[in-house]
Structure 1
Amino acid sequence: MKKAVFLVYLGLFSFTTMAQEKKTAIATRVETAPVLDGKLNDACWDNATPASDFIQYGPYNGSLPSQKTFARFVYDDIALYVGIMLYDDHPDSIFKELGKRDGLETLNADLVSVDLLPYNDGLNAYEFKMSASGVVSDTKYSPLGQYPAWDAIWECKVSIVDSGWIAEVRIPFAALRFPDAPEQIWGMNMWRSVKRNGQWSTWNFVNKSQNNVFADYGILRGIRDIKQGVRLSVYPYISGYTEKFPGNDKIDYTANGGMDLKYGLSESFTLDATMIPDFGQVQSDDKVLNLTPFEIKYNEKRQFFVEGTEMFSKCGLFYSRRIGATPNDYYNAYNRSDTNEYVVSNPETTRMINATKVSGRTKSGLGIGIFNAMTSNTHAVIGNSINDNTYKELTQPFTNYSLIVLDQNLPNNSYISLVNTNLNIPNNNYIANVTGTEFKIGNKKNNYTIGGTANLSQHYVQNISDLYGLLYKLSLNKVSGAFQFQVSRYTADEKYNPNDLGYLQNNNETNNSLTLSHSLLKPKYIFHGWNNSLTINHSEQYTNHNFVSLTGDFTSYANFKNFMAGRISISASPSEMIDYYEARYPGVKFVRSGYLYWGAGYATDSKKKVTFESSVSYMTTNDKVQTQYEIEVSPRIRISDKFQVSYYLGYIFSNDEYGYLDSYYIEPTFFPPVILFCKRDLTTITNLLSCQYTFNPRSSLSLRCRHYWSKAIMSEVATLNSEGKLENFVPYTGDNINYNVFNTDLQYIWNFAPGSELSIVWKNFISNADNYAEPNFYKNFSNMLKEPQGNSLSVKLLYYLDYNYIFKH
């Protein structure tokens, strides 16, 4: 009995010691850099101090891992080199599925990563991850999240040997931002995943109960007196397109050329610029039928805007899709008062002239970011059917976009930021300016934080009084331990509007919310992990404190010891909800019934050749009028380590849903107008097929086909009264809605040298909307294929040129 008590005490003592101590690894300077071949037989590795004694992160946090790992660090003036020996008792069982760069999270492959925090601030990190099959992934982290689209120029070679597998890594200092100091003292950790048993381990112990894993990272020392010389690299490109647009028999041929540039102003600051960019090969957006009063927000996929822009995300003021978006007066071109006029051409996006960003961080931890982009005048061409004359109509004048960010790191993994965004359209005498500050303050134990944001929007328009709006957020958070919570308050007044360069669905709102969560930190019973969370949210209008909604959401998510996963969700609103936006008229409300929602989902063992994910949900309103069903299924087949196929089917049926239809004025001076709502049945079916064949870690062929079909069948129309209720119901005899989108993206990529790429992309796209809601899926699909199609075949060659590499060789 005494021995048992002693062992428990010893275990607790060891766990506490690991949580408090930070390991230190030493990097050794070498005159001759190792040859990257995945063998670790260069002499320089023999003189380097090994970093070892990894500790489990999961499933048994704090226990010894099943396999040993050793790493060594050496460097020269150009790069940091890491040699990692990953021992494995069963090398024939190492998982090594192939895939594209940055796709490691979904691969069946053993992994190892090297994470670097050059400012040792517990906030900003670079992750360099590689698999036993040689696939690489890199991610940048900031207090606002992760940025997997960040792509650095670095190299890795791996090999599988009798005792396990080897990873040999070269990380150029040019890929990092670090302080100007005689010796670099970096935060560092390494993560290893043994896929077959779901085990993760780290070099420096990471407490699983800690939300901020970077707070538990170790130290890398020994890098001294780096003399990088000129940090200059350019990425010139040439591209060619053969395109045919819907409704146009003419085939267009275009050629483009431009360049991206990176110039190191110092060890800490880098200038990035793109001149005459070409974004024609980015993946097609997943467009949907939008019956809401709000704009759809699409993800950014253009490389320049996803790489190195994490600092500009502070305060939530920058939505990069505003740059190069649809011209402001795009739809005005189709509103012709002269019936003899027609639209010859009308560009759907504005043309970007250039974009530049400067970012970095001083040795005192002050981050500075400056961003600027310009778009040129955009014109629609209008023709006349009588005299065949054409003329240009301006749809978007020259526009300048700029951002400035100051971000100061503080002790205890804390920070404070100041952000300013500005949009200027000189032709319209229009300026939109938003200034914000954001902070997070943590205590010494890193278990509590206070966070906040305050933004001020200003609009200057000719002959109109200046408009000012305010937003603020405050939160108190417990961020460590099995039990965690967040208490927050959010307010945006009725004039706050950041949408010239940002994105906000609605203002004039105050939200108060409480989130409670509990996690199982070590395996127990049938669970590897189990998290339960409850969120209660109360919302009201800012101006008059009118009630909007009261909702509660509960989610339970579990990982099981058989590597399956399950989820249960329950959400409810016990009282009526007041919607001030669905009527599309300021101050007019629509009273919605409360609701009850439940959903469940599960996923099979992702290591199997055939995996399956599915979910079901059901929602009903408290007045028993509206119901909604949703089903999602997603099987995935790994035919081999090189070839995989996945499929997604989503089905949503909403019965007796009420929504805005139209409005009209009885008299021109009568306000508000008569607002019409309709009762509708809404059906949405999404099919997505993805196939990928990977020839080797640098070359792959991928296919993505998506068909989205949504139809709305109207049955009744009613008027909205002053109390927000519907009345005067009559049968609806107007048109229904039938909307289809079909996109095919076929892409071949060959990374023939570090940073250099050849890409060949074929795109096919069909989009149609009509008033007949076809009841049969196959007839609808057949009819859609008869619509005019667009096709684009493009080839793009991008070549990476580095000043130091050229002059060294």
Structure 2
Amino acid sequence: MPLISRIRKLFTALLFTVPSFYCLAQTATAVRTLGGSIAVDGFLSEAIWAKAPSVGAFIEFDPKEGAAPSESTFVRVLYDDASLYIGAFMADSEPSKIVGALARRDELPESDWFAVAIDSYHDHKTAFLFLVNASGVQVDGLFSNDEGNPDLSWDAVWVVQVKRLPAGWSAEFRIPYSALRFYTPKNDGGDSSYTWGISFVRYISRHREMDIWPRLRKSESGFVSRFGHLLGLKEISPPLRFEALPYVLSSAEFQQPSQACPSGRLLTGNLGLDLKYGLTSNMTLDATMNPDFGQVEADPSVLNLSTYETFYPEKRPFFIEGMQIFNFRVGTMSDGASSLLFYSRRIGKPPTKSVDVPEEGELISYPASTTILGAVKVTGKTANGLALGVLDALTQAEYATVADSLGRRSQELVAPLANYGVLRVQQDILKNSTLGMMLTSAAWRGLAPAHAGGIDWNFRFADNTYSFNGQISGSRTTNGERTEGWSTNMRFGKEGGKHWIGSLNYEFFSRHYNINDLGFVRRPDYHSGILWIQYKEDEPGLWYQSYRLNFNMWTSFNLDGINLSKGTNINFNSMLGNFWFIGAGIGYNLSAYDDRESRGQGLYREPASIQQWLYVSTDSRKPIQFSLQGFHRADMWGGETFNAGLSALIKPSPSIQIELGTNFSRSYRQVAWADNVADPNDPNSTISVFARRSTETFDMTLRGSLTFTRTLSFQIYSQVFCAKGHYEDFMQLVDPDELRPYPYDGNRDFNIQALHLNAVLRWEYLPGSTLYVVWTQARNGSEGSFWTPFIENVHSVFRVPADNILMVKASYWLNL
């Protein structure tokens, strides 16, 4: 059909159905169509579209909640035996100002877009997101726990096309039932009709306007529970889902010649397979065999001089897609660090066992991670509201290679064969509340296993205005001797309200609570209380679109009653009338004790300190967006910390994005631990040596993306990181409140440099099938001293020999 004929047919259909656009009912009705009768091309030209009741009563959600939208939006729904179809027309009085931009899938640039969210479980908590922008960029995700922030790691195979029209733009979706999760209804009288939750959202970039159906109020808590209803679905059958994604990989690694690799070149190949099988219409089995995650971006370098482990987020696709059910939070410490009963980064983690190198011998190789042989997970939700998650993974034994003084090589076990298992169940109870349980197990060949488990709850009442949530969990580990511990966390919160919200939180960790074999907790032997109060304003005023004023207060102790922290802060953030975002705050920490800083040699009293911070970000719609942040901390002993960061997001064209960021941090003469040494007067005693420590870090990052088409893109990430430290005025920790000068003759200074580079060419040559070409480079150096200028450090990191890896990976999606 010629283009002009399709457009005329579309507008004729719209003209004669305008009155139904403004129906105020909170329901949408789907109309059945014949299978294969819809050509998903974005035109909505088939006659059946005009027969479907339209939804048009959108309400502005942001920035002016409750106002009439500046532009009209009309949506219709069709279905057949295999798919759901969404047709949306976004009218626009200035179509030349519609903003379209290209990006890779699941990376939404600043642009006009339309989205549908479908609660096919109809549990008022879970929904599947399908979004497209005016240039056809697809985004999909999963809402869970009735929260409005989707997990964009969830991916499905679905089709959408968009078209620019004289009076706006349109989008046409085909969402196979295999992309959704639902169960056959159990209705009286043999009725086979379905009722699903549904919501539509439109974003108009030039106004930063978000319009929504049905209406959602900012004063209300909850998101999925506020959806409208999709009616009219009858006699559809959940499909049998069986998908296979085999992959083939070839890589070449180039490094400095060494005993482990005399040629400096290492060529490898690999095969693997991902499977997805629908055990039932609402229960899915995912399996991966010999997985490879070479396309995943490397973790950034950080400077960590504390006694606590650095938390890195999960980035591997298998361990992030559909993993919401496995979220079991055991606490949030006063410094904001989360504690998790299951932390998937433990699976495949780097070995930590030290190696005995013979005298005059050499360590030839040490594995950077443990190899995952395979993993399987089962996730889903039954018709009676029981959510289930089961995960099991197997990692192979890893060995380090050492050589003795004669060059004879041997291998030493650094990570035994291991199996990791997780069981999670969560039952919907009452109205929009849950009660759940989790068990975890980590087992190693030749070693005693570690177990952990707990129950958690989330009760919501008064129409989601208030909540009471928490957990009780325990651990059992064996490291020489069996130890058992437990923890609890309880939080009461006011989640909804026009102006005032807040929460009161208490958490407790016993002395021997240890979940770190498969979980993450910063420390045991700890309990704390946190109070948070917020005043918010969402109605635009003379100078703002919205603002938040927060007050926080906290204190924490170990189980000996020693006060570990005590402080308060007040902070403010606002979206200004010109759509700039600003934030600022001030806080005060009272003097308290640190029972870890001396590395086992007793308490140390930290000085009181005051902090201030500021954040500014310009309008994200502009071709260049700047962000600036600053932080300053000063303690009562003369120590200072200063941090400043500046970034720029540059969009020279709709298909190119470049983000440049730099961060500089400096701490000056802070009292900190330096070393523990033997007491020369008593060999059985240890002296804990402290010093005035000054550090400086410089971090420069580059992120860029070039999107050729909706399915072909190129991304690059690079980080240059330099950190240096200097220790002076050494002191002996005599007691928690006293430090005396000490004649320490060691040198604890450091100067390190690192570069990480990751470049990925991604081509989705068929739906669900992807070709990756990846180049990674790593450089690590330690030249110079604390007095070396940063510019010299940056130059020196490029003089360090590089490890380069070139990888080609192809996967092919099979819908069997």
Could you tell me how far 1:435 is from its partner in structure 2?
Answer: 0.6
Which digits, 9 at most, give the CA deviation of each residue in 1:658-701, with x for residues without a partner? 22221123389977621112211110111011221111111111
Which digits, 9 at most, give the CA deviation of each residue in 1:442-495, with x for residues without a partner? 11421111111111111145x62x311111011111111111010111111111
Give yes or no for contact 1:716–1:731 (8 Å, CA) kept in 2: no
Does residue 1:571 correspond to 2:595, yes or no?
A: no
The answer to which of 764-773 and 63-72 deviates more is: 764-773
1:36 paired residue number: 40
Describe how 1:327-476 pairs up with structure 2 within 5 A: 327-329=351-353, 332-333=354-355, 335-336=356-357, 338-386=358-406, 388-428=407-447, 430-460=448-478, 464=481, 466-476=482-492
Give yes or no for contact 1:715–1:731 (8 Å, CA) kept in 2: no
2:72 paired residue number: 68
Match of 1:607 among 596, 603, 621: 621
Unaligned runs of at least 5 residues, structure 1: 1-20, 804-809
Describe how 1:180-199 pairs up with structure 2 within 5 A: 180-181=184-185, 182-199=192-209
Indicate the SS of the match to 2:531: strand
1:114 paired residue number: 116
Describe how 1:611-760 pairs up with structure 2 within 5 A: 611-623=625-637, 625-666=638-679, 673-730=686-743, 734-760=747-773
2 CA distance for matches of 1:413 and 1:247? 61
Give yes or no for contact 2:177–2:239 (8 Å, CA) kept in 1: no
1:87 paired residue number: 91
Give yes or no for contact 1:189–1:218 (8 Å, CA) kept in 2: yes
Give yes or no for contact 1:22–1:219 (8 Å, CA) kept in 2: no
Describe how 1:496-645 pairs up with structure 2 within 5 A: 496-541=513-558, 543-573=559-589, 575-585=590-600, 588-623=602-637, 625-645=638-658
Give yes or no for contact 2:629–2:646 (8 Å, CA) kept in 1: yes
2 CA distance for matches of 1:796 and 1:102? 20
Partner AA of 1:676 in structure 2? V
Does residue 1:150 correspond to 2:170, yes or no?
A: no
Which digits, 9 at most, give the CA deviation of each residue in 1:736-787, with x for residues without a partner? 1111110111111111111111111111110123572243122112222221
2:319 paired residue number: 305
Give yes or no for contact 2:642–2:666 (8 Å, CA) kept in 1: yes
Which digits, 9 at most, give the CA deviation of each residue in 1:404-432, with x for residues without a partner? 0011112332111100010011312x111
1:27 paired residue number: 30
1:10 paired residue number: none
Unaligned runs of at least 5 residues, structure 2: 1-23, 186-191, 330-339
1:8 paired residue number: none
Match of 1:486 among 491, 496, 503: 503
2 CA distance for matches of 1:368 and 1:192? 33
Give yes or no for contact 1:735–1:771 (8 Å, CA) kept in 2: no
Compared CA separation, residues 246 and 302, structure 1 to 2 (3 A) = farther
Report the number of matched residues: 769
1 CA distance for matches of 2:736 and 2:264? 55
Describe how 1:99-248 pairs up with structure 2 within 5 A: 99-104=103-108, 107-143=109-145, 146-181=150-185, 182-246=192-256, 248=258
2 CA distance for matches of 1:216 and 1:475? 24
Compared CA separation, residues 206 and 668, structure 1 to 2 (3 A) = farther
Which digits, 9 at most, give the CA deviation of each residue in 1:134-155, with x for residues without a partner? 1111121223864222222222
Could you tell me how far 1:92 is from its partner in structure 2?
Answer: 0.5
Indicate the SS of the match to 1:494: coil
Give yes or no for contact 1:40–1:168 (8 Å, CA) kept in 2: yes
2:345 paired residue number: 321
Could you tell me how far 1:523 is from its partner in structure 2?
Answer: 0.4
The answer to which of 664-673 and 634-643 deviates more is: 664-673
Partner AA of 2:27 in structure 1? T
**Coordinate RMSD, CA, aligned:** 1.8
Partner AA of 1:527 in structure 2? Y
Partner AA of 1:265 in structure 2? L
1:13 paired residue number: none
Indicate the SS of the match to 2:57: coil
2 CA distance for matches of 1:655 and 1:444? 51
Does residue 1:790 correspond to 2:814, yes or no?
A: no
Which digits, 9 at most, give the CA deviation of each residue in 1:224-275, with x for residues without a partner? 3322443100001001101123554521111111110000000010000000
Indicate the SS of the match to 1:778: helix
Task: Give TM-score scaled by structure 1 length.
Answer: 0.92
Which digits, 9 at most, give the CA deviation of each residue in 1:170-189, with x for residues without a partner? 22221222233243322211
Indicate the SS of the match to 1:427: coil
1 CA distance for matches of 2:784 and 2:740? 26
Compared CA separation, residues 664 and 578, structure 1 to 2 (3 A) = same
Which digits, 9 at most, give the CA deviation of each residue in 1:258-298, with x for residues without a partner? 11000000001000000011112211110222211111111
Which digits, 9 at most, give the CA deviation of each residue in 1:541-595, with x for residues without a partner? 1x2222122111222111111111111111111x212111111217x21111111
Compared CA separation, residues 322 and 650, structure 1 to 2 (3 A) = same
Could you tell me how far 1:524 is from its partner in structure 2?
Answer: 1.1
1 CA distance for matches of 2:235 and 2:606? 66
1 CA distance for matches of 2:77 and 2:446? 56
Partner AA of 1:401 in structure 2? Y
1 CA distance for matches of 2:416 and 2:142? 35
Give yes or no for contact 1:657–1:682 (8 Å, CA) kept in 2: no
Indicate the SS of the match to 2:516: coil
2 CA distance for matches of 1:31 and 1:225? 13
Compared CA separation, residues 456 and 183, structure 1 to 2 (3 A) = farther
Compared CA separation, residues 672 and 86, structure 1 to 2 (3 A) = farther
Indicate the SS of the match to 1:782: helix
2 CA distance for matches of 1:149 and 1:754? 17
Indicate the SS of the match to 1:46: helix
Which digits, 9 at most, give the CA deviation of each residue in 1:109-153, with x for residues without a partner? 101111112233332222111110111111212238642222222
2 CA distance for matches of 1:57 and 1:23? 16
Match of 1:772 among 782, 785, 788: 785
Partner AA of 2:705 in structure 1? Q
Give yes or no for contact 1:54–1:69 (8 Å, CA) kept in 2: yes
Partner AA of 2:566 in structure 1? L
1 CA distance for matches of 2:73 and 2:685? 71
Could you tell me how far 1:713 is from its partner in structure 2?
Answer: 1.4
